[in-house]
Structure 1
Amino acid sequence: MESKSEYENYLKASKKVKEIKGFYIHLLCYVLVISFLVFINLKYSPIHLWFIYPLAGWGIGLIGHAIGVFGTDMLFSKNWEQRKIKEFMEEEKRKNTNL
């Protein structure tokens, strides 16, 4: 039998997974629709590049969604820095070992 805290952790993790999945669905829709709009724009009215308006507007919304799901430090957080440093150190170690 699971304890209450384990169940609460499960619910919290499940919610987070759904949020991440929702973001990736949003991102896929963005890429597909914007690609279609770029195609339509360039094929039928290449003189006026109007696709940049929905690209920018929806893009701002997508960035907001990403921040809501992943937080503001999703790209360059302290954890990211530490992982990258470790990754580069291991890469250098492999290079030196292979010589």
Structure 2
Amino acid sequence: MENQDIIKYEQALKRVKRIKSFYTHALVYLVINAMIVILNIQNLKEGESYFKIENFVTLFFWGIGLLAHGLSVFLPNFILGKDWEEKKIREFMEEDKKRVWE
């Protein structure tokens, strides 16, 4: 393989690992929160409603974290733009070259 192919392969591998990490996070989120919901329902007192704020705190805040994780995996270019990382690396390398010549 050429050097360029190796780089592209490593980038693709890194992206696959990030996606796999998100799916694992989502699965753990679903399993743990399902268990919390089941335990909360089993511990309800006679006539008590499940729909109380304390029953949704974990679900809500962890959901925000999961959403942020998903956005970072599937929309990395949304905020910083396409190839932002590479452009920044080139920019820093150019700055270093200028410093060497000065």
TM-score > 0.5, shorter chain as reference:
yes
Give ranges in structure 1 of 5+ residues lacking alignment. 75-99
Equivalent in the alignment of 1:25: 24
Question: Would the alpha carbon gap of residues 43 and 65 (structure 1) be closer, same or farther in structure 2, given more than 3 Å must change?
Answer: same
Structure 1's consecutive aligned runs of 4 or more residues displaced over 6 angstroms after TM superposition are none
Match of 1:63 among 49, 61, 67: 67
Q: In 2, distance between residues paired with 1:60 and 1:12?
A: 27
Q: In 1, distance between residues paired with 2:23 and 2:12?
A: 17
Task: State the identity %.
Answer: 32
Aligned residues: 73
The structure having more radius of gyration, on CA atoms, is 2
> What does the per-residue CA deviation read over 1:20-78, in whole Å, with 9 as the maximum and x for residues that have no partner?
0000000000000000000011110354632310000000000000000000799xxxx
Please tell me the root mean square deviation across aligned C-alpha atoms, in Å: 2.0
Q: Check whether the contact 1:41–1:51 (CA below 8 A) recurs between aligned residues.
A: yes
TM-score (norm 1): 0.67
Aligned 1:6-85 pairs, distance under 5 A: 6-45=5-44, 47=49, 49=52, 50-71=54-75
Q: In 2, distance between residues paired with 1:3 and 1:72?
A: 27
Residue type of the partner of 1:37?
I
> What does the per-residue CA deviation read over 1:5-32, in whole Å, with 9 as the maximum and x for residues that have no partner?
1000000000000000000000000000
